[in-house]
Amino acid sequence: MLSLSKAIEARKKNYYEALKKAQRSNEITPWINYFVKTTLEAQEDAGQLINFSMKKAKFFDKFQDKLNERQLKTVKRMLAEGYKGFEGGMNAGKYISLNRTSKSTATRDLQDLFDKGAFIKKGGGRSTSYLLNL
């Protein structure tokens, strides 16, 4: 039910348009089509959320005692974005901003997360960013 509500909320304009059309006519086919499509989207979202939750649990099982406080805070912030991911990945600038730390500490912590297998490197040089290895 939560996923259905979320799917309707995400496209509220479509919901009201479909409802309006259904109320003005005895023809309910467009309403049924809308509702079936939205229900399928909700099921897909729920499946992705369940899959993400399982990957998240496995990630924490694997790295539970291997992360320092800054790294843990960073991982939790990235995971808070859900299965769609942390936009742009994590980089040194974001790490510094999130943890209020020096560039050298940020670089060292990020490299450590990569070396442990918690992060996947994306790009290189100054444009290096990291994604969670879920």
Question: DSSP of 38-99, one letter per residue?
Answer: HHHHHHHHHHHHHHHHHHHHHHHHHHTTT--HHHHHHHHHHHTTGGG--TT-B-HHHHHHHH
| Average pLDDT score over the chain | 92
The domain in which residue 116 lies consists of 65-134
SS3 129: strand
Q: Give pLDDT tens digits for 104-124.
A: 999 999 999 999 999 999 988
DSSP 108: H
- Gyration radius from the chain CA atoms: 21
| Average pLDDT, integer, range 83-111 | 95
| Average pLDDT, integer, range 75-102 | 94
pTM: 0.77
Please tell me the distance from the alpha carbon of residue 64 to that of residue 45, in angstroms, as a whole number.
27
2 and 56 in one domain? yes
pLDDT at 1 over 70: no
83 and 56 in one domain? no
